[in-house]
Amino acid sequence: MTRYVFITGGVVSSLGKGIAAASLASLFKLRGFKVSLQKLDPYINLDPGTMSPIQHGEVFVTDDGAETDLDLGHYERFVGIKMTQDSNVTAGRVYSNVINKERKGEYLGSTVQVIPHITDEIKKLIIRGAKNSDIAFVEIGGTVGDIESLPFLESIRQFSLELGNSRSIFVHLTLLPYIDVTNEIKTKPTQHSVKELRSIGIQPDILLCRGKNPINQKLKKKIALFTNVSENAVFSAVDAKSIYDVPMLFREQKIDEYMLKKFKLKSKRLNLKPWSTYKSKVGKCKKTVKIAVIGKYVDLADSYKSLNEALYHSAVINNRVIDITYLDSEKITKSSVKKLKLMDGILVPGGFGNRGIEGKVLAAQYARINKIPYLGICLGMQISVIEFARNVLKLKNANSTEFNSNTKHPVIALVEEWKDSLGKKIISDKKNMGGTMRLGAQDCTLLKGSLAHKSYKKIAINERHRHRYEVNNALLKLFDNSGLIFSGESKKGNLMEIVELKDHPWYLACQFHPEFTSSPISGHPLFNGFIAASIKKRK
């Protein structure tokens, strides 16, 4: 019998509901419970795949190829379980399902309405997302009071009623602003937010109060009085040094024990060791490692969420504090690129469209010539191939057809364009024919003895993709004995997945996204290797 924890947010967005949900779920996973996590997003897009990373942050890709909200990345990193298509539900998905059913006549002539049809569909999707776990954590996106969230809040209200006593808990994450001038913590916004929730029939069981400092008993008493939440259920969610400290901060206040009691569940032994070991490891990191990320979505840190986390993880594994400098690739010129000399490593991440491409090519060239460790991801690998073709093979206008559809040397192109580039027909994995995005986890075979092989310490790997363009196999011969090695191939489709340089301390670029599968405990083989090489460069 699955129990449900519904997590809502109040006062302002970006309070860290995703981290709170992931941290709570982690505490239960570490007690041996089977947990699941799900994010309900009130926007109309079918999924975040079409949303600009500058508006909504990164698009996180799951093994099964779903393009999802970045909170799912936190879920995977904190809890170590794989998210799926069912783990992220948007209002668009709900409405689309309902409209499809209506078109098929499944509602037998009735008027299709928000209540009960939309709310029933939401409940169905919540149950599907729970995957028969012991405890399902369901985070509702947005802030209480938004018009869009109403059907979702109504659904969880109904659902909790249907579940009956001790099978659901409402957790509300709220903000307690601190006023400098009067040296006071204010509770009024929280009172209002809970009032809003109660007016739609939801009485929160637990309040997580976000703020700079822990709250004292007097304040808890006041909040309890105004919100009708038990005084013992008002907890602090203080700003943490690292997000990975949050599970322990929650545990110190025994939030998990309070929840176990509420659920009438027998307690199992909690093994907090992974987080406490991690914390002490982070505490020992003193020296820094400086990495330049050459991107185009540099104005919003969330655009590269998983990337930032992966760099942080591998820095800690290598005993270092990560120091990331984001450089806008549009501003990189032949002379300004020289500033990269100060960096220990250079990373060119994924991206779409041709804005800033030339700056990335300059950065990849600088890393190649000056032997600075380089990691290219997705677009970053395509950039490596273009740069090498232009500057080493002297194919002056080599490019990707994404940026110049008439290029004479389309070293990167859609699979269906390959045959035109040499007038020959290429046999490739039909499933991966271009035009649509190549999404999700795919098998790749590594070249024996390559840097990739040494990093992974195995030949067969599986990594997540999200792109349309590929290295053009019709032009591969041009790279024979050139010093650029193709060291990873897709198992099915002979698509090129990894390139590396022969005479370079550490230069590797991959067509897939290793950042999605990095974890705080073990990092990711490519990031770990890249950071280790960057540290060596400094010595």
Closest to ligand GLN by CB, 468 or 491: 468
Cα–Cα distance between 480 and 147 in angstroms, integer?
59
Closest to ligand GLN by CB, 29 or 465: 465
Nearest to 2 by CA among 37, 40, 35, 38: 35
Closest to ligand GLN by CB, 437 or 459: 437
**Shortest Å distance, C-beta 343 to ligand GLN:** 21
List, in order, residues 6 or more apart from 261 with CB less than 8 Å away. Answer: none
**Shortest Å distance, C-beta 295 to ligand GLN:** 10
Residues touching ligand GLN, count (CB under 6 A): 10
The one among 251, 320, 467, 524 contacting ligand GLN by CB under 6 A: 467
Closest to ligand GLN by CB, 142 or 351: 351
Site string for ligand GLN, 127-166 (x = CB under 6 A): ----------------------------------------
Indicate whether 468 belongs to the interface with ligand GLN (CB under 6 A).
yes
Site string for ligand GLN, 366-385 (x = CB under 6 A): ------------xx------
Encode burial over 233-246: b for 16+ CB neighbours within 10 A, e otherwise: bbbbbbeeeebbbb
**Shortest Å distance, C-beta 514 to ligand GLN:** 12
Indicate the pairing of strand 374-377 with strand 470-471: unpaired
Q: Is 4 helix (H, G, I), strand (E, B) or coil?
A: strand
**Shortest Å distance, C-beta 377 to ligand GLN:** 7
Closest to ligand GLN by CB, 467 or 537: 467
Indicate whether 515 belongs to the interface with ligand GLN (CB under 6 A).
no
**Shortest Å distance, C-beta 349 to ligand GLN:** 7
Please indicate whether residue 378 is annotated as part of the active site: yes
The one among 17, 77, 360, 466 contacting ligand GLN by CB under 6 A: 466
Burial class (CB in 10 A: 0-12, 13-18, 19+), 165: exposed
**Shortest Å distance, C-beta 352 to ligand GLN:** 4
Give residue number: closest CB to ligand GLN.
350
The one among 141, 351, 493, 520 contacting ligand GLN by CB under 6 A: 351
Closest to ligand GLN by CB, 5 or 357: 357
Cα–Cα distance between 87 and 128 in angstroms, integer?
9
Nearest to 530 by CA among 310, 360, 353: 310
Nearest to 495 by CA among 444, 436, 440, 448: 444
Assess contact for 506 and 374: CB atoms under 8 A. yes
Nearest to 23 by CA among 322, 356, 347, 251: 251
Neighbour count for residue 37 (Cβ, 10 Å): 33
**Shortest Å distance, C-beta 329 to ligand GLN:** 13
**Candidates 19-27, 347-355, 362-370, 523-531; binding stretch for ligand GLN (CB under 6 A):** 347-355
Question: Which residues in 380-439 contact ligand GLN (CB under 6 A)?
Answer: 402
Indicate whether 469 belongs to the interface with ligand GLN (CB under 6 A).
yes
The one among 9, 48, 247, 350 contacting ligand GLN by CB under 6 A: 350
**Candidates 75-83, 213-221, 302-310, 461-469; binding stretch for ligand GLN (CB under 6 A):** 461-469
Q: Is 19 helix (H, G, I), strand (E, B) or coil?
A: helix
Assess contact for 504 and 371: CB atoms under 8 A. yes
Assess contact for 391 and 334: CB atoms under 8 A. no
The CA radius of gyration of the chain, in Å to the nearest whole number, is 25
Nearest to 350 by CA among 490, 463, 473, 453: 463
- Rounded to 5°, angle at Cα 153 from 149 and 158: 150
Closest to ligand GLN by CB, 63 or 154: 63
Q: Would you state the structure tokens that stand for residue 502, as one six-digit string?
A: 């022969």
Residue among 378, 444, 465, 470 flagged as catalytic:
378
Please indicate whether residue 252 is annotated as part of the active site: no
Cα–Cα distance between 209 and 198 in angstroms, integer?
17
Residue among 154, 309, 489, 515 flagged as catalytic:
515
Closest to ligand GLN by CB, 292 or 509: 509
Strand partners, 496: 489
Interface residues with ligand GLN (CB under 6 A) are 350-352, 378-379, 402, 466-469
Catalytic residues: 378, 513, 515
